[in-house]
Amino acid sequence: MKVNVNKIDDSNVVVTTTLDSATIDKNIEKVAKQLTKTANVSGFRKGKVPAHVIKQQYGEKLTQDAESEALREVFDEATKELKVEQSDLIGEPQVTKFEKTDKGIEVEIKLYVRPKIDLGDYKKIIPDVKKPKITKKAVSDRLKELAEAQAAFVDVTDRTVEDNDTTVIDFEGFIDGAVFPGGKAEEFSLKIGSAQFIPGFEEQLIGMAIGEEKEIKVTFPADYQAADLAGKEAMFKVKLHKIQIKEKVRIDKKLAEKMLPGEKDVDVEMLNTKVEEQLQSEELSKTYNEKLKPDLIDALVKHYKFTIPEFIVEQEMDNALNKKAQTMSEDEINALKDDQDKVMAMREEFREDATKSVKATFIIDSLALAENIRVDEQEVQQTIYYEAMQTGQDPQATLDQYTKAGYLPAIQMSMVEDRVLSKLLDEKMKAE
């Protein structure tokens, strides 16, 4: 049996051979002999079953096992010629041809080899990172926000509603004289100017006095989330119960102690420093996520030249096509059902991005090894739990949902990528 190994490139290999009858017969004898030691056949003691009886009872199964054994031999021969280990391969070998002819069984197997990336001095690729400068005004504005957030509401009784006041109201909405679901509330707190309500509603509260009742007419936006209300005119009956404002809070040692529990020797200067650090962290995070990390990924992908397993790119393209389909209307999908060429053309549009994404994944994987960065499964689960709790979802149910959908590897890789890029950028910033 001659095995032909054709390296398309360093990552994609096509193996071809013809399994002759002698090879299959030899493997049938081998498998039958093994079964004589373990098979339970009526009338024979275990381990004493003759080979010809095994062949009679397990004929078709023996042939299938013999063919599978022959494929394993082809695979072993190919990896030996390629000088690769099982760990060097990605995915399962794909048997793309298994055709029985008069000459034997013609076989084609595709193997995919993990790319080997010579990182070199990769830190030279990392761009310079400048620590964001935070102005005194930005610190002052944030301190005012924090102080206001700590302030209590106080009632105003000697005037009518003004802009930026917080009102406490009852309201009930009608469309064409009929009450609509979700259009009623009692003692609802609404800040004027917050744009929390339908455009035009809050402005019409200005000038109302405590205890006053008023009819307010508005029109729901054409793109309103509830389709049955979008674009319709509505009338709201409103009663004002309270006008409230936030009491002024002084930015002093007392506020600093409240904002920095557990810290020693707290004063306003320390609070200013902490606020500046927080703003700097926020600005840096924004810059990292919106510019530096995407730019760094692009730079890495352009810098490193290596081949990638074709099947992973194809999978990425399929995923992208499926996501696209989820955003399409039923009419658009129906139009594609009878036009396979158009579907394949649309799928092909994702090839460039899919190739870039796969290359980036292998580069990040190599960088993570070089930087000794790992994210284990437990850490992934903890992250999902925390984020679910932050958004008021059931943590265990969310984890189960992600696990069932097969999202955990992608989340894990995303966490690794974030950690690798952040570390490299942080180090470059420290070197400034």
Q: What is the mean pLDDT of each run of 10 residues along the chain (432 residues)?
A: 90 92 78 64 60 63 81 91 90 90 89 93 91 90 86 90 93 92 91 90 94 94 86 94 88 84 86 90 91 94 94 91 87 82 91 94 95 92 87 87 87 92 87 43
**The CATH number, out of the four listed (3.30.930.10, 3.40.50.360, 3.40.50.720, 1.10.3120.10), of the domain defined by the range 268-430:** 1.10.3120.10
| CA atoms within 13 A of residue 192's CA, in its CB half-sphere | 22
| CA atoms within 13 A of residue 70's CA, in its CB half-sphere | 30
Q: Which residues pair with 113 in a beta bridge?
A: 89
Burial of 287 (0-12, 13-18, 19+ CB in 10 A): middle
Is there a contact between 395 and 384 (Cβ–Cβ < 8 Å)?
yes
Q: Which residues pair with 353 in a beta bridge?
A: none
pLDDT of residue 4: 92
Where does CATH 3.10.50.40 sit in the chain? Answer: 152-246
Tell me whether strands 104-112 and 12-19 are parallel, antiparallel or unpaired.
antiparallel
- Angle (CA) 365-314-317 rounded to 5° is 95
CATH 3.10.50.40 fits 152-246, yes or no: yes
- Non-local (6+) Cβ contacts of 432 within 8 A are 128, 129, 130, 131
Q: Which residues pair with 99 in a beta bridge?
A: 106
- Non-local (6+) Cβ contacts of 117 within 8 A are 304, 306, 362, 363, 366
Is there a contact between 367 and 424 (Cβ–Cβ < 8 Å)?
yes
Is there a contact between 168 and 148 (Cβ–Cβ < 8 Å)?
no
Give φ, ψ of 105 to 5 degrees: -110, 115
Q: Report the 10 Å Cβ neighbour count for 91.
A: 13
Cα–Cα distance, 165 to 243 (Å, whole number): 7
Report helix angle 395-405 to 408-430, nearest 10: 100
Token code pair at residue 75: 């695979």
pLDDT of residue 35: 63
Q: State the pTM of this model.
A: 0.70
Cα–Cα distance, 217 to 175 (Å, whole number): 10
**The CATH number, out of the four listed (3.40.190.10, 3.30.360.10, 3.40.50.10860, 3.30.70.1050), of the domain defined by the range 4-112:** 3.30.70.1050
| CA atoms within 13 A of residue 212's CA, in its CB half-sphere | 16
pLDDT of residue 432: 41
Q: Which of 26, 103, 39 is nearest to 67 (CA)?
A: 26
Amino acid at 291: K
pLDDT of residue 66: 79
